[in-house]
């Protein structure tokens, strides 16, 4: 009988340290196959507001994503960005990857975070922001961050 071993880690994410459990591939052969952690399929986790998450990403990853709307942006884009900043963010995909050993050492780990946010509803009306008035509305937004930890 073949034996398969799996491992999980619980990662704290965002300013509120929301716990997200990631599950790994078989770790019996880390040196030759690497290690891949990810959210379970069809699983999501809410982690707070988009504004807070962007601030956390900027602080932890050294990025400079905007947390306020620059005055130079077009009004339509300002309205969309402002509308989703307070929205609750959902983590749709989160991976941490360790490639197999190369020579005597492992390459740097890589991680990827994919999030989305829905425009908050107003009462019983689903949230939306006009993109092209009377044609298209924006119901949400999202982004992906991928970084190699060097």
Prediction pTM value: 0.76
Q: What is the DSSP string of 42-111?
A: T--EEEEEHHHHHHHHHHHH-----SS--TTS-HHHHHHHHHHHTSEEEEEEEEEEEPPPBTTBPPPPEE
**Is residue 108, in this structure, part of any structural domain at all?**
yes
Residue range of the domain that includes 42: 8-148
Averaged pLDDT for residues 120-133:
79
Count of domains in the chain? 1
Structure tokens at 77: 């884009």
pLDDT band per the 50, 70, 90 thresholds, residue 145: confident
> In the predicted model, is pLDDT for residue 35 greater than 90?
no
**Is residue 126, in this structure, part of any structural domain at all?**
yes
> In the predicted model, is pLDDT for residue 72 greater than 90?
yes
pLDDT band per the 50, 70, 90 thresholds, residue 1: low
């Amino acid at each position: 009988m073949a034996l398969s071993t799996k491992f999980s880690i619980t990662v704290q994410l965002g300013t509120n340290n929301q716990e997200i459990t990631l599950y790994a591939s078989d770790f019996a052969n880390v040196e030759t196959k690497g290690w891949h952690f990810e959210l379970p399929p069809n699983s999501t986790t809410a982690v707070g507001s988009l504004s807070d998450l962007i601030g956390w990403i900027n602080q932890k990853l050294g990025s400079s994503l905007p947390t306020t709307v620059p005055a130079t942006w077009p009004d339509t884009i300002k309205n969309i960005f402002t509308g989703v900043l307070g929205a609750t963010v959902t983590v749709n995909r989160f991976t941490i990857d360790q490639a197999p050993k190369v020579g005597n050492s492992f390459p740097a780990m890589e991680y990827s975070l994919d999030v989305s946010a829905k425009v908050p509803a107003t009462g019983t009306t689903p949230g939306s922001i006009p993109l092209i008035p009377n044609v298209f509305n924006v119901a949400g937004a999202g982004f992906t961050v991928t970084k190699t930890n060097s």
